[in-house]
Chains A and B, each alone.
Chain A
Amino acid sequence: GDSVTQMEGPVTLSEEAFLTINCTYTATGYPSLFWYVQYPGEGLQLLLKATKADDKGSNKGFEATYRKETTSFHLEKGSVQVSDSAVYFCALTLTSQGGSEKLVFGKGTKLTVNP
Chain B
Amino acid sequence: NAGVTQTPKFQVLKTGQSMTLQCAQDMNHEYMSWYRQDPGMGLRLIHYSVGAGITDQGEVPNGYNVSRSTTEDFPLRLLSAAPSQTSVYFCASSYMGMNTEAFFGQGTRLTVV
What is A's interface to B at a CB cutoff of 8 Å? 31-32, 36, 41-46, 49, 51, 89, 93-95, 98, 100-108
Residue with the greatest number of chain B CB neighbours at <10 A, chosen from A32, A44, A49, A98: A44
A-B pairs with beta carbons under 8 Å apart, 27 shown: A31-B98, A32-B98, A42-B106, A42-B107, A43-B4, A43-B92, A43-B104, A43-B105, A43-B106, A43-B107, A44-B90, A44-B102, A44-B104, A46-B101, A46-B102, A89-B42, A93-B98, A93-B99, A100-B48, A100-B50, A101-B31, A101-B98, A103-B45, A103-B102, A104-B45, A105-B42, A108-B43
A104 proximity list for chain B (CB < 8 A): 45
Shortest C-beta distance, B1 to chain A (Å), equals 14
Task: For B56, list chain A residues within 8 Å (CB).
Answer: 98, 100
| Chain A binding surface, main DSSP class | strand
